[in-house]
Amino acid sequence: MSDNTTIGVGMVGYAFMGRVHSQAWRSVSAFFDLPLRPRMAAIAGRSKEHTEAAAAQLGWAAVETDWRELVKRDDVQIVDICTPGDSHAEIAIAALEAGKHVLCEKPLANTVAEAEIMAAAAAAAPGKSMVAFNYRRVPAIALARRYVEEGRLGEIRHVRAAYLQDWIVDPEFPLVWRLQKDKAGAGALGDIGSHIIDAAQFITGESILGVSALTETFIKERPLAAASAGLGATASSEKGEVTVDDAALFIGRLSGGGLASFEATRFAAGRKNAMRIEINGSLGSLAFDFEAMNELWFSAGGGGFERILVTEPDHPYVGAWWPPGHGLGYEHTFTHEIRDFLEAVATGVDPTPSFADGLRVQRVLEAVERSAAEGSRYTTVED
């Protein structure tokens, strides 16, 4: 049960995203002064043994082996969905219909049709809902948004975004769920391309109107996974087909008249988590690379770029943490996301990115896939 100061959270899933969300639920009220403190009431997973081990390690009070039971619990008011995309719609809709608030991992769904139903369910439900595009909560990215809002860039001419990883460069790396269309919906495009689509639209405040795209699956067959944890896995002797893209490149038109380019790949050898975005406006430019996430580069036109160390107390989220120069990491972006979600739940404001925003990203993903399938013709993002 919740009183006026605490709220019960139930989480579905306990792998990479479950671990990082747990860290955020555990620490958020130690650093941010919030109207509501989360109580980590229950965690759900299919295997009793593994879910109990995860609960003990991550700090959850109770265990369910069926997410439906978790959604029904009276001590759960927020449902946090950290599962692969194929179960997002079913869990989110059940939770919203049960009157819960819902935080759902990205991308919102595996298809536009699912995302539409989720957005409609969210609009009709009393609970709050948000999709977990955590990079919006990197202080440097939130600062970039602030610069654009303050007019420091002028009119946006270009967005140049790339998300580069290399964890599947080895053709013997196993066929984990992220490489299976029925589980993940799409490959690099959905998993990491969705982040740069969201970041581009968030920072500029504009929408992507249409795209022209190329996608490729370089390694068509891989060993099946014997076991996996986080982004690591061990191989079995049997092989299976890779059913998603390994890389996606596309160009697009922005609603303000600018042109954008995007690249999402897991084949950029040496790049671990290089989520990069550069924005050029009529008055100035911004550049960011997640591999140096405490920095934002700004140019007011003349004299090249200046480096802003985003560790000052007046920078977004930073004041809650360490003295200037001490820096934040990947996990803090989730703490910020959960901070904003709790604040929205407590104050009754609709949090962003909403399920409608998630649907918008899904429509861009779908346009990219359609354009690539049709031979990269310019493809309008459907409304």
Tokens of 243: 């059913």
CA-to-CA distance for 82 and 70, rounded, in angstroms?
Answer: 13
Least CB distance to ligand SOE at residue 337 (A): 12
3-state secondary structure the chain: CCCCCEEEEEEECCCHHHHHHHHHHHHHHHHCCCCCEEEEEEEECCCHHHHHHHHHHHCCCEEECCHHHHHHCCCCCEEEECCCHHHHHHHHHHHHHCCCEEEEECCCCCCHHHHHHHHHHHHHCCCCEEEECHHHHCHHHHHHHHHHHCCCCCCEEEEEEEEECCCCCCCCCCECHHHCHHHHCCCHHHHHHHHHHHHHHHHHCCCEEEEEEEEECCCCEEEEEEEEECCEEEEEEEEEECCCCCEEEEEEEECCCCEEEEEEECCCCCCCCEEEEEEEECCCEEEEEHHHCCEEEEECCCCCCEEEECCCCCCCCHHHCCCCCCCCCHHHHHHHHHHHHHHHHHHCCCCCCCHHHHHHHHHHHHHHHHHHHCCCCCEECCC
Minimum CB distance to ligand SOE smaller for 36 or for 293: 293
Residue 310 as a binder of ligand SOE (CB under 6 A): the answer is no
For tokens 């989110």, what's the residue?
A: 92
Residue 192 as a binder of ligand SOE (CB under 6 A): the answer is yes
Interface map 267-296 toward ligand SOE (x if CB under 6 A): ------x-----------------------
How many alpha carbons fall within 13 Å on the CB side of residue 193?
Answer: 33
Minimum CB distance to ligand SOE smaller for 53 or for 274: 274
Least CB distance to ligand SOE at residue 333 (A): 8
CA-to-CA distance for 257 and 7, rounded, in angstroms?
Answer: 44
Minimum CB distance to ligand SOE smaller for 177 or for 378: 177
Minimum CB distance to ligand SOE smaller for 15 or for 359: 15
Least CB distance to ligand SOE at residue 228 (A): 12
Least CB distance to ligand SOE at residue 324 (A): 26
Residue 362 as a binder of ligand SOE (CB under 6 A): the answer is no
CA-to-CA distance for 213 and 161, rounded, in angstroms?
Answer: 14
- The answer to whether 312 touches 328, Cβ cutoff 8 Å, is no
Interface map 318-357 toward ligand SOE (x if CB under 6 A): ----------------------------------------
Least CB distance to ligand SOE at residue 17 (A): 7
CA-to-CA distance for 189 and 210, rounded, in angstroms?
Answer: 16
Residue 165 as a binder of ligand SOE (CB under 6 A): the answer is yes
Least CB distance to ligand SOE at residue 280 (A): 25
Least CB distance to ligand SOE at residue 69 (A): 27
Least CB distance to ligand SOE at residue 150 (A): 28
Minimum CB distance to ligand SOE smaller for 193 or for 316: 193
State the distance between the two ends of the chain, measured CA to CA, in whole angstroms. 41
Give the nearest residue (CB) to ligand SOE.
Answer: 191
Interface map 213-242 toward ligand SOE (x if CB under 6 A): ------------------x-----------
Q: Which residues ranging from 9 to 28 are in contact with ligand SOE (CB under 6 A)?
A: 16
Least CB distance to ligand SOE at residue 192 (A): 5
Out of 114, 191, 206, 357, name the contact with ligand SOE by CB under 6 A.
Answer: 191
Residue 86 as a binder of ligand SOE (CB under 6 A): the answer is no
Minimum CB distance to ligand SOE smaller for 184 or for 308: 184
| Site residue total, ligand SOE (CB under 6 A) | 6
Interface ranges with ligand SOE (CB under 6 A):
16, 165, 191-192, 231, 273
